[in-house]
Amino acid sequence: MERQDCKKICEDNEYDFANPLEPTVFGWSIENYNEWYEDIQRLLKENVNIRVGIFLNDGTVIGDVALQGIDKMNRACAIGIGIAKITNQGKGYGTEALRLILGYAFDNIGMERVTASTLEINIPSQKIFEKLGFVLEGRSRKAFYFRSKRYDYLHYSMLADEWRM
């Protein structure tokens, strides 16, 4: 992602207070997009994260998807994704972005295991993970405090052999 893409994502970032599925990151704002961009570049140089933008056909950036915590020794990493505007969520953009970055992880950089985690209340993410072939490995019971309640944290994984099936 370029610096202006980070700025646009920060400008467009919306939190769905009416239907919260994951906690918001307070302090993440347009004022600190330069810091976010610099952090992306640092982690890329350290070979631990790869973060790319999610773009519409007209070139508009609408979010980002990442391979995080890349462990070359164990050939494993986690994925993360964000779609900035609520109106762009639920349209398949995230699913397609995850499919593409999974292909990159398994077919280009030799990952053998990719993980993903989400709160138990985030049903849309669970459906995407399962649609793409992730397997629910387990849950951390009541591990996350959010909106005055405790929630389970669900842990998914996909192995390279499962990706190629």
CATH of the domain at 67: 3.40.630.30
Q: What is the mean pLDDT of residues 152-161?
A: 96
Please tell me whether the overall predicted TM-score, pTM, comes out greater than 0.85 for this model: yes
Tens digit of pLDDT for each residue in 84-129?
999 999 999 999 999 999 999 999 999 999 999 999 999 999 999 9
105: exposed, middle or buried (Cβ count in 10 Å: 0-12, 13-18, 19+): buried
Domain that holds residue 85: 3-163
Q: How many CA atoms lie within 13 A of 66 on its CB side?
A: 20
The count of structural domains within the chain is 1
Contact (CB, 8 A) for 154 and 136:
yes
